[in-house]
Chain A
């Protein structure tokens, strides 16, 4: 029976940084397993060693982040992008 395709998102730059530091192919395998793996632009931008083009080559689906994000002084811009994504997409 074919495996049902699922979706996932990476909303923490630290996760991507660790994947890239260990082996980029982890990301490719992750995409293969999940089907679609989203990453918001703001989070991807924090990962200096993974430019947008390379992220797309590895199969990640880069999604735009709204410019106006909820205000939270303890959170950075990428954190607030993550919060927005989690709240809006569930």
Chain B
């Protein structure tokens, strides 16, 4: 930890919250000159001053002290331009991801629970072939939907994290082996449907399998070919050709919109994934035209437009319509939870490898919330 790290960390959180120096100094009851000195690394603050800063910024104290971590193999690509706040959120995401991976690796090492990466041997560069090879590793039948992709990732030795990014211009990132990965971080920002998050996991997995060399390239701009290949990989992994062919044919008596909705529900994916797969399988010539047609027909039939990441018949937690027994099984948001990290934290706490306070730090919980969680662990 250096004084400059404190300044960098505070500046990042100020940008995220849109706070200026005068606003922050007023919030924490500190002079603007003193705050500027702190930000510029000219004065080492007292712990009580940093506590006021942490409280004013609503961040944990250690967040301000943490070294600026470096991830050598992080793959973060976006085709869109980020504004100042979004760039700060992106930097925070890198920062959090590095700390999370470091904690994860520490727990695995101490608990002697480091899994092998089961997909390392897949060498095909052809997205469809690679996706089917991954399905084979998971022993998934050709027509079987993927019910719990998070579980599969963790089984495969991939660290998974689902957290809001603070912006919606990118849906996920992945990290190569060099930094304690492979790992995938998925954006669960409010308004991004579960189906999109599922697809993002499959898409990032596609990069991990197909584009190993790209993890050594710090470039942040999107490579269209790689993105297209990762999409094809994800589509094939989630909705294999044969299975889609079968379900699509069975639904041929339905209206186009209902046919898509029926198939999307079977495979627990977004309507867009189904539309993309239909184009990939040559059933429609243009994705843009297909999306326009679906949107128009959907609005006409269901009186709702599809703007702003709206997902028709979304697999959200607050789904209030009960599912009839004969309906295809519904996925809930609880199916997309990373479980292994918190399980390791619990094991480490129970084996006295970490203190209750450290367990709370790892799970981003206050000591009060951690005490409540430990009580719950002890009850069941």
A-side residues, CB < 8 A to B, are 13-14, 17, 40-42, 45-48, 52, 62, 64-68, 73-79
Is the CB–CB distance between B367 and A74 below 8 Å? no
Chain B residues within 8 Å of A13, by CB: 357, 367
Is the CB–CB distance between A78 and B371 below 8 Å? no
Chief secondary structure at chain B's binding surface: helix
Q: A-B pairs with CB below 8 Å: how many?
A: 65
Chain A proximity of B359: nearest CB distance (Å): 8
Chain B residues within 8 Å of A73, by CB: 106
Is the CB–CB distance between A77 and B51 below 8 Å? no
Chain B proximity of A80: nearest CB distance (Å): 9
Interface status of B368 (Cβ within 8 A of chain A): yes
Is the CB–CB distance between B355 and A17 below 8 Å? no
Chief secondary structure at chain A's binding surface: mixed
List 19 A-B pairs, Cβ < 8 Å: A13-B367, A14-B367, A17-B368, A17-B371, A41-B48, A41-B51, A42-B61, A64-B46, A64-B47, A68-B1, A74-B353, A74-B358, A75-B354, A76-B355, A76-B358, A77-B62, A77-B361, A79-B357, A79-B358
Chain A proximity of B27: nearest CB distance (Å): 16
| Option from B47, B62, B358 in Cβ contact (under 8 Å) with A66 | B47
What sequence of 0s and 1s flags, for each residue 1-39 of chain B, a beta carbon within 8 Å of any chain A beta carbon? 100001000000000000000000000000000000000
- B62 (CB) vs chain A CBs: closest residue: A77
| Option from A17, A52, A77 in Cβ contact (under 8 Å) with B65 | A77
| Option from A40, A67, A76, A79 in Cβ contact (under 8 Å) with B45 | A67
- B65 (CB) vs chain A CBs: closest residue: A67
Chain B residues within 8 Å of A42, by CB: 47, 61
